[in-house]
Amino acid sequence: MEYSDTVRDHALQPRNVGFIEGFDGRGESGDFSCGDVAVMTIRVRDGRLAEVKFLVQGCGAAIATCSIATELATGRTVEQAAQLTDEEVAQALGGLPEPKMHCSNLAATALRHAIEDYRRRAKLDLHDWRALYQR
């Protein structure tokens, strides 16, 4: 399979690898039985993704898609980041071979799950605050 220079760069020198301690949202995607799994953590400040990090178990394409997805998402509003598509991730890498397109799903889905977790946590925090205030 032939990969673009961008895929090779992100696969060999991935950006934003790691886990955010005290994250605002955490999401995962993939299937341990097939071997490709991604975990993304996000930190949100003033309605924007201030920090996005990932851990991944998978091939070079999976690493590259997670790496570029963190770069694409960082700085976007929560709403904008939630709209990041598999196609946008693949396009930012200069394309992926058809058998590896599922890797872009891994990154975008893990990010969306982290945003969903953030929204759920924020809603719980808001409800807890209101309950305390009404006492």
**Tokens found for residue 80:** 């904008």
Separation CA 134–CA 41 (nearest Å): 33
Q: What is the largest CA-CA distance in the chain?
A: 63
Catalytic option among 21, 22, 32, 34:
34
Q: How far is CA 5 from CA 2, 12, 61, 75, in A?
A: 10, 11, 12, 24
* Residues pairing with 49 in the sheet: 44
User: How crowded is residue 105: how many other Cβ atoms within 10 Å of its Cβ?
Assistant: 18
Catalytic option among 72, 103, 110, 111:
103
Active site residue 66: no
Active site residue 59: no
Any idea which residues carry the catalytic annotation? 34, 103
